[in-house]
Structure 1
Amino acid sequence: MARLSTVIWGALSLLGSAFGYANPGACSGTCTNTHDPSIIRRSSDGTYFRFSTGGKIAVHTAPALTGPWTYKGAALPSGSSIDLDGNQDLWAPDVALVGSTYYLYYSVSTFGSQDSAIGVATSSSLDVGTWTDLGSTGIRSSSGKPYNAIDPNLVQDGSTYLLTFGSFWRDIYQVPMASPPKAVASGSSGAYNVAYDSVKTDEEGAFVYKNGAYYYLFYSKGQCCGYDASKPAAGGEYKIMVCRSSSATGGYVDAAGKACTSSGGTVVLESHGNVYGPGGQGVYNDPTHGPVLYYHYVDTTIGYADGQKRFGWNTINFSSGWPVV
């Protein structure tokens, strides 16, 4: 079955190469300046919330995934209590519902620095004005560590919570969290590596999503930012990759069976048409559209600046055992 799954995935990939990727789904309202989006739907009233980098975590809401998206304010208007440079310019939010409480994980850092930390805030409703900053989760990096403590993502594996994170250096790591997941689990042996490209260490933005028997590790690879000042060589811009494992804690491999910790990785979505540098992704099982891959991207007809990045989404199909846009 594993071999058949790989063959089917290969056939679908060839079709994707021949006919191109689907364009992003419809988006109305405020769809620009949406870097590293995190999407969640409040079940009590069906309101969609979109959290994104900048503006002390910008919050937008909409009645549907397609919009219209409306700006509501900052999730953490006073910034973070973490005593690090960058605590007023928070990055890469990740929002999850645990029990009846919403958890907002965020990064405190400055561009190119390894002096970074991951913080967390909680809310009972998701609304602006209701978030309480709890400060550091205990995940912090500095010069000499093998990882950078940014780009957090929470996944629940049975009764265990795991936080996947990391950027460049030795790429992507994971660590067990306490229950409730406000901090690293007591007695944890520390973070372990789940994805690493030894040739080009440019992997970040991990997101773990379970579908069927597998956990899928989605991540971004390539240059994320500054395209208006310095575009990378063709193919060096952001793209969305994936590996999978039957365990949330690792053993992730790509569609060819190559380990994600040994430079493995399969492309899910890359530049095409007017879409350039898609990344900063997540996956959400939408009640209307089914599983969707959401991300930010540059629309080349609008502009390449970081503030011009747009919110994108596509449905994804797992029928081959691998996600296909």
Structure 2
Amino acid sequence: MMLFGALLSVLLTSLHSVRAQYPAPGACSGDCFTHDPAVVKRADGKYFRFSTLDLIGIWTADNLAGPWTRSGSVIQGASIINIPGNDVLWAPDVVYMRGMYYCFYSVSVSSSQTSAIGYAVSTTMESGSWSDQGAVVTSTSSSPYNAIDSNVVNGTAEDEFYIQWGSYWNNIYQARVAIDGEYVFRSGNEHQIAYEPSGNHQEEGAFIWKRDTTWYLFLSKGICCTYDPATDPIDQVYHIAVCKSDSPAGPFVDKDGVACTDGGGTTVLASQGNTYAPGGQGVFTDDAYGDVLYYHYLDLTVGVDYNDSKFGWNVITWVDGWPTVS
């Protein structure tokens, strides 16, 4: 019994250590609901947070920790993309390029491959200032991917841009895009950059971030978005993982050298304490905090329903060329 007790003590200490490596989310006050957030800080210091639902809801604050205030939506009425789900909209990605903000969004309904990635443009990000431009990527039941969860990144040259997208099915794809003022066009080189071969391929939410000469592919892996903490295997619920490459087009590998196209991904943030199922992530550089990882998560003291999703963020610390959160 004494030996068993000692072994149990070591095991619990080990588990506590694993959980303790992930910090609690940064503070958030005001209206903190979000799902698949996008965060941008405007040149005047005003923060904008965009979220799934309500035609891409917009929240603003003077500090990343809030208080956050709802200020409207990107799209008014419905997207001009005429497929089911065009009056809800998912998974925004907002990027600033050449003096203009581009908000990429997803149109779909749950479990459907009849999907599209559209975009709107604005010079201010304020509600009412966005002009809907229609679709960039589409998918049907015959596509290898699902055209949702997009992200756009600048490549190695001023006019080199890539869009990545995908959820479940064959997971994450990428293609070149050309950007000309208000217009974004796909321009070829479509290829898969990440794939989870096991189970029902639970991987989505690709976000590529460039640091120095390295591109980091952040992913949301695991069960989403209906949960039962009493029965869900904790290591299989939503969590944030990363691979990296010396090219924006890959190939991407994780810290152990496993290819992202073969299930690779080094965990950056996972469930711990009352923080449950973090995901839907992105990264931005804040002059107040440095590089910041932002995401949505659930607080077990509140609930695990979709509408309980909260805005989370942590400062990134780079260790030996890999991101950790603090």
For residues 255-266 of structure 1, the aligned pairs below 5 Å read: 255-266=255-266
Alpha carbons of structure 1 residues 176 and 15: separation in structure 2 relative to 1, 3 Å: farther
Residues 147 and 166, structure 1, Cα contact 8 Å, conserved in 2: yes
Alpha carbons of structure 1 residues 89 and 15: separation in structure 2 relative to 1, 3 Å: same
Alpha carbons of structure 1 residues 192 and 301: separation in structure 2 relative to 1, 3 Å: same
Residues 254 and 266, structure 1, Cα contact 8 Å, conserved in 2: yes
Q: 2:144 aligns with which of 146, 163, 170?
A: 146
SS at 2:261's partner residue? helix
SS at 2:307's partner residue? helix
Q: Which amino acid aligns with 1:195?
A: A
Residues 171 and 197, structure 1, Cα contact 8 Å, conserved in 2: yes
Give the superposition deviation at 1:230.
9.4
Separation (CA, whole Å) in 1 of partners of 2:194 and 2:146: 13
Q: Which amino acid aligns with 2:36?
A: D
Structure 1, 86-95 or 23-32: larger mean CA deviation: 23-32
- 5+ residue gaps, structure 2, are 1-14
Give the superposition deviation at 1:130.
0.4
SS at 1:235's partner residue? helix
Indicate yes or no: 2:22 matched with 1:24: no
The answer for the alignment partner of 2:272 in structure 1 is 272
Separation (CA, whole Å) in 2 of partners of 1:222 and 1:168: 10
Q: Which amino acid aligns with 1:149?
A: A
SS at 1:261's partner residue? helix
Q: 1:155 aligns with which of 144, 148, 153?
A: 153
- 5+ residue gaps, structure 1, are 1-13
| Deviations, residues 192-244 of structure 1 (Å, cap 9, x unaligned) | 10000111311100000011221000010112212269963332210001000
Residues 138 and 147, structure 2, Cα contact 8 Å, conserved in 1: yes
Separation (CA, whole Å) in 1 of partners of 2:17 and 2:160: 36
Q: Which amino acid aligns with 2:20?
A: F
The answer for the alignment partner of 1:249 in structure 2 is 249
The answer for the alignment partner of 2:8 in structure 1 is none
SS at 2:318's partner residue? coil
The answer for the alignment partner of 1:310 in structure 2 is 310
Separation (CA, whole Å) in 1 of partners of 2:317 and 2:16: 14
Separation (CA, whole Å) in 2 of partners of 1:121 and 1:266: 33
Q: Which amino acid aligns with 1:97?
A: Y
Residues 120 and 182, structure 1, Cα contact 8 Å, conserved in 2: no
| Deviations, residues 115-162 of structure 1 (Å, cap 9, x unaligned) | 10000100011000000000111x111112111000000100122010
The answer for the alignment partner of 1:193 in structure 2 is 192
For residues 221-236 of structure 1, the aligned pairs below 5 Å read: 221-227=221-227, 232-236=232-236
| Deviations, residues 248-306 of structure 1 (Å, cap 9, x unaligned) | 00110000011101111111100000100000000111111111110000000011110
SS at 1:307's partner residue? helix
The answer for the alignment partner of 2:78 in structure 1 is 79
The answer for the alignment partner of 1:4 in structure 2 is none
SS at 2:317's partner residue? coil
Identity, % of aligned positions: 47
SS at 1:178's partner residue? strand
Larger Rg: 2
SS at 1:218's partner residue? strand
For residues 40-51 of structure 1, the aligned pairs below 5 Å read: 40-43=40-43, 45-51=44-50
The answer for the alignment partner of 2:285 in structure 1 is 285
Q: Which amino acid aligns with 2:321?
A: G
Separation (CA, whole Å) in 1 of partners of 2:16 and 2:208: 26
Separation (CA, whole Å) in 1 of partners of 2:99 and 2:163: 19
Alpha carbons of structure 1 residues 197 and 72: separation in structure 2 relative to 1, 3 Å: same
Tell me the matched-pair count: 307
TM-score by length of 1: 0.91
Structure 1, 259-268 or 18-27: larger mean CA deviation: 18-27
TM-score by length of 2: 0.90
Q: Which amino acid aligns with 2:154?
A: Q
The answer for the alignment partner of 2:206 in structure 1 is 206
Residues 95 and 104, structure 1, Cα contact 8 Å, conserved in 2: yes
